[in-house]
Structure 1
Amino acid sequence: MPPISVFDIFKIGVGPSSSHTIGPWKAGLDFVRTLPDVAIDRLDVQLFGSLSKTGRGHATDVAVIMGLLGHDPVTVDTTRIADYVRELADCMTLEVNGKPIVFERKQNIHFTNATHDAHPNTLIFNVYCQSELVHSVRYASVGGGFVERANAGPRQKLQKFPYPTARGIDLMRHHQRTGWSIAEIVRANEESIDTPANVDRKIQEIFSTMKEAVYRGCTTSGILPGGLNVVRRAKAMNDDLLDGRKFADIAHWEKMIRNSYQDFNTVNKWISCFALAVNEENAAMGRIVTSPTNGAAGVVPAVLLYYYFFCTDYDEPRIEDFLLTAGEIGSLFKKGATISAAVGGCQAEIGVSSSMAAAGLTQALGGSPAQVLMAAEIAMEHHLGLTCDPVGGLVQIPCIERNAMGAMKAITAANLALAGDPNTSVVSIDTVIKTMWQTAKAMNSKFKETSEGGLAFNLPVAMPDC
């Protein structure tokens, strides 16, 4: 099993979708970087399956353009994305292989509304010279921002982790042999391919980006783009919870939250506020951390900030343990099932993120490896069969609220595991991953991010035009 780093699961990027935005964006980048030196006078992009059916609402065409323009989703100024797209529309010229060619968003990006046999999220780049096809590359956006290029040739030899894991039982075997926690096992794997200082730096960068996304969401009001007229709610919740008191910056905001009233109902509201804040930012093409996807990017930060602000035994180093453990659980689902809603429905997004958050919280609160895996199992068990039915193809209804629900389930799962005895547990994490994959394969395609079923069917909204 190829190793999957925690930093493959947690990626800094741009909303609203890891599979429909970041994946096509990265495909566009890869295409222009690897394009052979051939004469070109036209470039067409074909979007298939879910990318076609919900791509407009997921800004897939915008993402493709940003990739073709050479912008990196990790570092791009997200406030300028609309400007870059507008500039291309004004000049209608794209530079490819050092030569300008005419490129129009509506004319050269095709929403085919057809399904490709290769994958539900398939896109093809075709380049022509005098109407003759001279080069073509097919990509699959397989979820979580992972992209696979067809016929990419033999893979580079992969370095093996010292503690390889394909299933939960592997983690338990490593624990029994070493006595280490899951976080310690994962850190040993990460430090086998990078320096301890770099691992620490990347974890801190992930945590800081998550906090900043929450803060931006808690300080931004207005209507989300896309035509559904969804009102941002996180800022109003934040202001209400802080009794309208003003704060100067993120550090001041954090201090005020720590000093605020902390009864059960208030803490519950804060968790929902954190989750909504991230996914409102995601819906507005803001910078977030894919965890493991963009549509589910609010669950892990909400639960992590619950620990950070409200758990009495909070300890700074345990933030690292939380994220290392959560990332490892995400990799188990990617290896054993899927983290793509176009393949497995929303159980593959909110379900996996809730499982990750439950495991991370259990680890941070001092749970044993068996309790960590028990928490992950409980969280997914109660998301099995969850459909993906984005209204209007937008990552807003029901996606934003689902992050709040996933966060609450994760905390409940952690509490049940910490109070329970894993030796008496009937269902294992490996059983639930296997079940989730079987459920994904049996699920009707209209519930797999096509906007052809569920709420999307009963609340039909015209897709936003290019």
Structure 2
Amino acid sequence: NQSNNTSPQSDHHAVVSTFDLFSIGVGPSSSHTVGPMRAAKIFINDLKDHNVLDKVHSLRVDLFGSLALTGEGHGTPEAILMGIEGEAPDTVETGTIQSRVKDIKTNKSIRLDGTHRITFDYDKHMVFNYFKTLPQHPNGLRFCAYDKNVNMVATNEYFSIGGGFVVNEQTQLDHGENVYYKQTTEKNVVAERREQDVAVVSLPFRNAQELLEVCKREKMTIAQVVFENELKWSTPEAIREKLLKIWNTMDDSIRNGVMASPDDYLPGPLKVRRRAPRLYNKLLKGLYGTPMNASNGYHDTRITSSQQLPTSNEQQQVSSQYPLALSFLPKMPRKKFVLPALDYLSVYAIAVNEENACGGRVVTAPTNGAAGTIPAVLKYYLEFISENPERDVMEFLLTTSAIGMLFKRGASISAAEVGCQGEVGVACSMAAAGFTAVMGGTVDQVENAAEIGMEHNLGLTCDPIGGLVQVPCIERNALAAVKAIAAAQLALNGEGDHRVSLDQVIETMRQTGLDMMSKYKETSQGGLAVNVPLC
């Protein structure tokens, strides 16, 4: 069974806030870690709002479908326990999670909202329903709270629909969205959402065709359209600050990944060693090109906000050629025959996804499993091409978010619904669009790049070995980053006219996901997950 999210209604626009699509959280999965943590916190907040928190004596959590089948490898139980204790994905101290979970299991108790200690026997009260899926969505979970006489005082079901978004029947809008979006308390939600209405924006669009029509009618870039819509919820200064915070978090995740110990192993039974530190060290030794202004160590591209606001019609034109002389070379060790761009893109993406696999802080882009692709492409652009980093970060992220909105409305960004084409495939499409935009491409070329990025990810399965977001997920992000640049270059070298439209490829992706067998949709019951032994 599929959720409403894979069958959008034509009457509702695609616009959500960029900061609903990109959000700061913890690894390793947006749908299996970030979403469940938010769901648990929403449930606890509801208990407080209805004045029953103090009556709760015990709690039971049921996981269904993909959350049950791959939840342990994705850190779902740990995330739920943190949410029950009142933590949020963007603020929880990642380094304390494992010790706190161990304490909960050992003492067989948990603190509701961090204050009210109740009975919680992990082996008894965290229930994995491996062979049952709730009808609304593959990623379902249910909370039941009981008083001291074991009478149920509250219950609710939630569905993690990808990218950290959570819905349930009480807060689900008729077009498959949620009154809360990524908030966990009703008081922080925009009024239209509290009223179960679609948010009114200045420049609505339902699909790529309408987005292009808006751009041409208003003589705006895609980023400018998104920026104008964001003004519904935030001031220009707040938008700039939040965009830079998103980028700085992405850059931190790259930094943490490349600066980690090369002897560290990723969590779990696969015994995968971190590769990003070694790969990055090779690049900095001068075997290949190095980033502008790089020194011995990590080159920081964090941005301190200036007072500069984006110019309305400014279109920065930058050469699209990477300065590399491809002439005949004498015979030398095989490792010298490489393209620096590929190496940097790969190491940046791998660094982020290794951090994600370790439960570190990353940005859903649009999901955690695909968190490395967009940062890798943007980092590469800032290091080697950009002449105005702050403006380019804003242009890039606003453009990519527009493409993400189209996929979220027209198909899905959940691997449990449509396979990995909905995660890494969408990230590749978004990154291709963003790169094309900052390279000075037209809106037609941006749309073309996004289409190419997804067209060649159609049918991509989600079959993580051992239910861990490691193999094939980490390398897949690196390949998607490279593919995004290739898609952008193809689009930039064309005129924007092409046989397949972005809307057509989004619909094709949706249909492909519906036809895909469930064993290839984040259940670890097919593909690599059953053909590669854990040890």
Aligned match of 2:97: 81
2:400–2:431 CA contact under 8 A, matched in 1 = yes
Residues 176 and 55 of structure 1: is their aligned pair in 2 closer, same or farther, counting only changes over 3 Å?
same
CA contact (8 A) 2:31 2:414 kept: yes
Gapped runs of 5+ residues in structure 2? 1-11, 174-192, 287-293, 304-322, 326-337
**Are 1:452 and 2:470 counterparts?**
no
Q: Does 1:374 align with 2:475?
A: no
Structure 1 unaligned spans of 5+? 255-260
Query: Residue type of the partner of 2:285?
Result: D
8 Å CA contact 1:313–1:365 kept in 2: the answer is no
Post-superposition offset of 1:252:
9.6
For 1:194-343, list aligned pairs within 5 A: 194-221=234-261, 222-243=264-285, 247=296, 250-251=299-300, 265-311=339-385, 315-343=389-417
Q: 1:151-170 maps to which residues of 2 (within 5 A)?
A: 151-152=170-171, 155-157=193-195, 158-170=198-210
Once the two structures are TM-superposed, the CA of residue 9 in structure 1 deviates from its matched residue by 1.0
Of stretches 178-187 and 245-254 in structure 1, the one that deviates more from structure 2 is 245-254
- Paired residues of 1:377 and 1:428 also in contact (CA < 8 A): yes
Cα distance in structure 2, aligned partners of 1:168 and 1:95: 47
Letter of the structure 2 residue corresponding to residue 102 of structure 1: T
Give the one of 212, 232, 236 matched to 1:192: 232
TM-score (normalised: structure 2): 0.82
Give the root-mean-square deviation of aligned CA atoms: 2.1
**TM-score of the pair, normalised by structure 1:** 0.93
Partners of 1:185 and 1:461 in 2: how far apart? 47
Question: Aligned to 2:459, what secondary structure does the other structure show?
Answer: coil
The equivalent position to 2:462 in structure 1, one of 359, 364, 388, is: 388
Give the conservation status (yes or no) of the 8 Å contact 1:116–1:122. yes
Following superposition, the deviation at residue 246 of structure 1 comes to: 7.5
Cα distance in structure 2, aligned partners of 1:416 and 1:334: 25
Identity over aligned residues, as a percent? 45
Name the counterpart of 1:110: 127
Report if aligned partners of 2:265, 2:272 keep a CA contact under 8 Å in 1.
yes
Letter in structure 2 aligned against 1:143: G
Equivalenced residue count is 455
In 2, the alpha carbon distance for the partners of 1:207 and 1:444 equals 36
1:247 touches 1:253 (CA, 8 Å); kept in 2? no
Secondary structure at the counterpart of residue 62 of structure 2: strand
Distance 1:226 1:366, change over 3 A: same
**Aligned pair partner of 1:94 in 100, 103, 110:** 110
Equivalent in the alignment of 1:432:
505
Q: Deviations over 1:116-152 (max 9, x none)?
A: 2121000000112323333210000000000002223
For the structure 1 residues 96 and 278, does the alpha-carbon distance in structure 2 shift closer, same or farther, using more than 3 Å as the test? closer
Is this contact kept in 2: 1:24–1:63, CA < 8 A? yes
Query: Where do residues 104-183 of structure 1 align in structure 2 (5 Å cutoff)?
Result: 104-113=121-130, 114-129=132-147, 130-152=149-171, 155-157=193-195, 158-183=198-223
Which one has the bigger helix percentage? 1
Instruction: Write the distance in 2 (CA, Å) between the matches of 1:252 and 1:352.
Output: 25
The letter of the residue matching 1:336 is G
In the TM superposition, residue 281 of structure 1 has moved relative to its aligned partner by 0.1
- Establish whether residue 27 from structure 1 lines up as the match of residue 30 from structure 2: no
CA distance in structure 2 between the partners assigned to 1:246 and 1:277 by the alignment: 19
